[in-house]
Structure 1
Amino acid sequence: MRIQVINPNTSAHMTDAIGDAARAVAGPGTEILAVNPADGPPSIEGHYDEAMAVPGMLAKVHDGEQAGVDGHVIACFGDPGLMAAREVAAGPVIGIAEAAMHMASLIAPRFAVVTTLDRTRIIAAHLAEQYGMARHCCAIRATEIAVLELDDPASDARARITAECRAAIEQDRAEALVLGCAGMADLPRALSDELGVPVIDGVGAAVKLVESLVGMGLGTSKAGDLAYPVAKTYTGDLGRFSP
């Protein structure tokens, strides 16, 4: 089985870390292809960044389909372009926020999301509503750490993330925690050991869901809403995306 894990931003260093996290949970016989687009924002921290990242991400979905991958993971917690990617793909496409929230709801009645900048909290809240997870999501907390600062020792990211996780448990009564950025994918086990509650990383959760769907012989339905895009010629700079 081959799963393409797409980091929709252009940070190759983050892509490498995401790929390592995906391989750490992948089952025997699963090959992880971690990729990112060449064009787009270096990090995704708002609605505009998300919109600008989608074309490059969709191009990677198309490339993966041409290469015969079995499924895709969209490794950004905003799940940008998820439904469009499902139109393009034959196999399953899973977003990491979608995966993490559903996984958390299976093991705890109340979970909190700990994310990066405060401005991204509303995106996570909208997704919780969209996925039917709002009744399980008791809080969305921001660390005010920029995405590209997560692996910078000067940012003290680990301590700040841990502090917000602890506050979610003590103040919001969270019984599980969801890490709200693919750049935190290396932290769940250590945080869980330290805090005593399950900590879910969306990259790992999405990989396991894709593995399960592919293993069951299930792909994206092409009847109705997620049928392949209607063939037409796009104009201008978007001509290369013509379906």
Structure 2
Amino acid sequence: MEMSRVDAVWSFETAVSRVSGRGISREQLIRRLGELAGRSGLGSGLAALTEYVGATHYLLARHDLSQDGGLDFVVCSDWPFDIVRRLSGIVAGLNAKTTELEKCLAVLQPTFQTVPDDIDLPRGVSRTYCAVTFNVGRSRFSLMLLFPADVILSQEALRDVAVLAGYVASLKTEVGIRQDREFELTERELECLFWIAEGKTSEEIAVILGISRNTINNYITSVMRKTATRTRSEAIAHAVRNNLV
């Protein structure tokens, strides 16, 4: 049987050779990450985490950039490009459907999603991929892992990986990719968000700040657009999760 184009790029034999080193202990992993810190790229640290948990390939995604579409949400990856290109729409869709409360509860909790049937995967690789989310400052990330079909990933090890992925990502300048002003709240927007969290209505906030109710509503609309939230309650949850209020 001929190998598919994806198989030709990434053979399962290569994947197996990477998984074979997963007997590393947590202490050894932490020591290794410490040695890599400051002298290696983000990919080296993510590769070490991937090996530790018994997966084969990693993809680090930044959620606040997924709403733009395209591939800008990918911070660092060694997944085959064809899969990443298809995954971008899936990630954006899942993120849009997730409430702020669900996002809070999902942090450091491994979840599993299925790759669509029409996407070619290398032989022996599971059609299920794992994602663990974590925060670096105000930005939310997911580390997505492909793994062999015969491997059962440890929930405890995955949580370790999520915590340590946040450590690795926080040290690397690559995480700062496209720190656009569009995603930062202005002082006025933060003021409005604070007063919303205090239970004030638009009319009350207008009186407090000395500006019109319509202007307050415009600020609140801008806050929800920038934070990808749909209601004031979700905006408040986002603000609490990111230490904005």
The interval holding the TM-score normalised by the smaller chain is under 0.3
TM-score by length of 1: 0.27
TM-score by length of 2: 0.27
- Higher relative contact order, chain-length normalized (CA < 8 Å, sep 6+): 1
Larger Rg: 2
